Amino acid sequence: MVCLAVDLLGGDHGSSPFLRGSILALEQNSQLQLILMADKASEAECQHILEKYQSRVSLSLAENVVKMEDSAVSALRKKADSTMAQAIRLHKDGKVDAVVSAGNTAVLVGFGIHILGLIDGVSRPAICTSIPTSSGKTWMLDIGAILQLSSDRLCELAALGSALCRSYDGKQLPKVGLLNVGSEESKGTDELKAASEVMAEAENYQFVGYVEGDQLFNGQQDLVICDGFSGNIAIKTAQGLSRFLKMELHQVLKSNFFTRAVVRLLKTTLKKFANRIDPSLYNGAPLLGLNGLVVKSHGSADEYGFAHAIVVAAEMAERGLVESISEEIFDRDLPESTLTRFLKKVNFKKQVS
Amino acid sequence: MVCLAVDLLGGDHGSSPFLRGSILALEQNSQLQLILMADKASEAECQHILEKYQSRVSLSLAENVVKMEDSAVSALRKKADSTMAQAIRLHKDGKVDAVVSAGNTAVLVGFGIHILGLIDGVSRPAICTSIPTSSGKTWMLDIGAILQLSSDRLCELAALGSALCRSYDGKQLPKVGLLNVGSEESKGTDELKAASEVMAEAENYQFVGYVEGDQLFNGQQDLVICDGFSGNIAIKTAQGLSRFLKMELHQVLKSNFFTRAVVRLLKTTLKKFANRIDPSLYNGAPLLGLNGLVVKSHGSADEYGFAHAIVVAAEMAERGLVESISEEIFDRDLPESTLTRFLKKVNFKKQVS
């Protein structure tokens, strides 16, 4: 059995889609137990699921709720009694194997660090998400926890993310790329250049070099490392474009009686396409680097998306994701500053030539 | 009549698609004259178009070609006799009204500055492109000329880009947004915050606030300002995703005999959709801020894309884009440093409270 604390509050559309999502996840994974985190106001809504899954679901009430507009600083000071903080507290106390929340990302990261702490050797947690690609999926890390990154931090992300690929996807030598504005060595910021020099020497993953935005979906890499700003821009641009194209296609296919009739014949086929690229199938982003397993759902996730985040969290808990990462990071030699190494190398090259 | 210098070399697939694109553009705009910039090796290929459009097309041979892997520094020193540099030189000498090139962006920017110079008051040129949106198109600026930007520079881009919207699109009070990772005031880097404070006070455009990646295609803004790194990531991610979705849809629609037959019935409709989002319709990015009109085409543009870049360049020349921008920037009071203004404002607020 695997037991999760599910924060029902803090999303964009109240607790209803998350309750329905919880039921979907319980149906999908018979080994799953849930502790639902709610407040007094949403208690009544939970009765149905509590009765239906008496032995597998329980309720834990909190006094407070983290809002999307809360700053991390103020929430950390004033909302220790929130559903979000209480869920993470349950995990810290060993009562649950993981936490799922669709709440305010900055606050979730803040409570994560404050209550669970960081894996030894990690400087900050990062948010990892997956995107659909022609060969299945690719992980992207970081997609918004920290906006600007040093080269050391980029290398740390590669270590964290490649550990995820090994322990969760079973890929022993994952292919790792670095998001940049060009694939030539001369392209990008000094931080990216320094990080690429160090990543090229990694032994537990295969560095495939710089990856441009238009290569993200080609399935040639298991993991793409980026700073939180670019990662966020890339992911959200992809979401916006999917929505726009869907709307345009819909408009064109429904434009007259004839096309509407023909499209009806293609219903199953188009459904297959929609399922393949359905964003809810890619919902559920672990906060890597915490000394515990916290999975972030989109605030606006529907029941299917939220169910997917729960199922992902349960799988990651079952496969001992955090333990694997801890071991790897602990085993790693403490890295010399990447910039120092980069400069040394450049100097060395200069001396040779 | 409008006369353009067209650099046939330096793209990804040789001069053939650009020659075919030139013919398409000549057919589309009867007022258009072209000077084709080629080298000895490609001279023979140009004979067909020279014969067909004797009165409207001429050839100018150069000794050298800028390659994609050339650095700006070395090309500027060694390739003054390239098709690219010679095309810009013709423009400087008043022989043509604009230049179109699909060559190396950094070198194109370099020769642009070196030969044409900058509009008074502009610190660097920026690359501007348009993307399809639900209400038509939105301009994005900068998409790759300079990776990291100061707040002053972001405001300069807003001035340049809004001048484009006024003189090319005839929008007197364009809506301008700033690309960021969230729409709340607290989000983003200090540069973005400082720039947004100044942009909010602009009088010749309407600042609509921060724009997230998923809002780029919603048609709510005429222009989105961003640093070259994020702009490049957003544009290329969109290109990669379009390609991926097209491939997935194609696969699903051609999966069996039945769907193949039904899809044939939808041919015209699907063509309409493809045309609406066809990237070649959005090819042709002016380098804003130069004291002249240089339009960059994608290196991998096909004949339709290249034709579109030529047509766009001709229209911009006819509408006096560079003259309009020069007048506006010249009329503008020289800006106080945005950071100084931002800090003053913050201090003022502190004193009041």
- Give the model confidence (pLDDT) of B99-148 as tens digits: 999 999 889 999 999 999 999 888 889 999 999 888 889 999 988 767 77
Of residues B277 and B50, more confidently modeled:
B50
Beta-carbon neighbour count of residue A153 at 10 Å? Answer: 21
Which chain A residues touch B245 with a CB distance below 8 Å?
242, 245, 277
Q: Using CB atoms, which residue from A147, A237, A253 is nearest to B189?
A: A147
Q: Which residues of A182-211 are buried (b: 16+ CB within 10 A; e: fewer)?
A: beeeebbbebbbbbbbbbeeeebbbbbbbb
B205 φ, ψ to 5°?
Answer: -150, 165
CA distances from B267 to A259, B184, B258, B273, B275 (A): 10, 44, 15, 10, 12
CA-closest candidate to residue B148, choices B225, B72, B229, B213: B229
Question: Any CB–CB contact under 8 A between B337 and chain A?
Answer: no
Which chain A residues touch B74 with a CB distance below 8 Å?
none
Residue length of chain B: 353
pLDDT per position as a tens digit, B78-90: 999 999 999 999 9
Of residues B195 and B273, more confidently modeled:
B195
Contact B232 A179 (CB under 8 A): no
User: What is the distance between the alpha carbons of residues A56 and A54, in angstroms, rounded to a whole number?
Assistant: 6
Please tell me the distance in Å from A240's CA to the nearest CA on chain B: 4
Question: Any CB–CB contact under 8 A between B229 and chain A?
Answer: yes
Average the pLDDT over A149-155 and give the result: 89
Which chain B residues touch A214 with a CB distance below 8 Å?
236-237, 239-240, 243
Contact A245 B277 (CB under 8 A): yes
CA-closest candidate to residue B12, choices B105, B103, B75, B84: B103
What was the pLDDT predicted at A268?
A: 80
CA-closest candidate to residue A331, choices A120, A170, A156: A120
Question: Any CB–CB contact under 8 A between B330 and chain A?
Answer: no
Asked if A295 and A148 touch (Cβ cutoff 8 Å), the reply is no
Asked if A167 and A319 touch (Cβ cutoff 8 Å), the reply is yes
Locate the chain B residue with the closest alpha carbon to A262. B262
Task: Name the residue with tokens 């992809």.
Answer: A238
What was the pLDDT predicted at A89?
A: 98
Roughly what angle, to the nearest 10 degrees, separates helices B16-28 and B303-318?
A: 50
Which chain A residues touch B282 with a CB distance below 8 Å?
none
Q: Using CB atoms, which residue from A215, A252, A263 is nearest to B273?
A: A252
User: What is the distance between the alpha carbons of residues B51 and B19, in angstroms, rounded to a whole number?
Assistant: 13
Contact B234 A229 (CB under 8 A): no
Question: Any CB–CB contact under 8 A between B247 and chain A?
Answer: yes
Average the pLDDT over A155-183 and give the result: 93
pLDDT grade for A334, boundaries at 50, 70 and 90: very low
Largest Cα–Cα separation, chain A = 76
Question: Any CB–CB contact under 8 A between B216 and chain A?
Answer: yes
* Of A155-159, A306-310, A324-328, the least confident: A324-328
Q: Using CB atoms, which residue from A232, A238, A266 is nearest to B181?
A: A232
pTM above 0.80, yes or no: yes
Average the pLDDT over B323-337 and give the result: 69
User: What is the distance between the alpha carbons of residues B316 and B291, in angstroms, rounded to a whole number?
Assistant: 14
Interface list for B 158-177 with A (CB within 8 A): none
Q: What is the mean pLDDT of chain A?
A: 88
- Residue A6 region, left (φ>0) first, then alpha (ψ -120 to 50), else beta? beta
Contact A213 B233 (CB under 8 A): yes
* Of A19-28, A61-70, A328-337, B231-240, the least confident: A328-337
Q: Is B332 a residue whose pLDDT tops 70? A: no
Contact A217 B184 (CB under 8 A): no
User: What is the distance between the alpha carbons of residues A2 and B131, in angstroms, rounded to a whole number?
Assistant: 46
pLDDT grade for A78, boundaries at 50, 70 and 90: very high
Contact B186 A71 (CB under 8 A): yes
What was the pLDDT predicted at B237?
A: 92
Which chain A residues touch B265 with a CB distance below 8 Å?
262
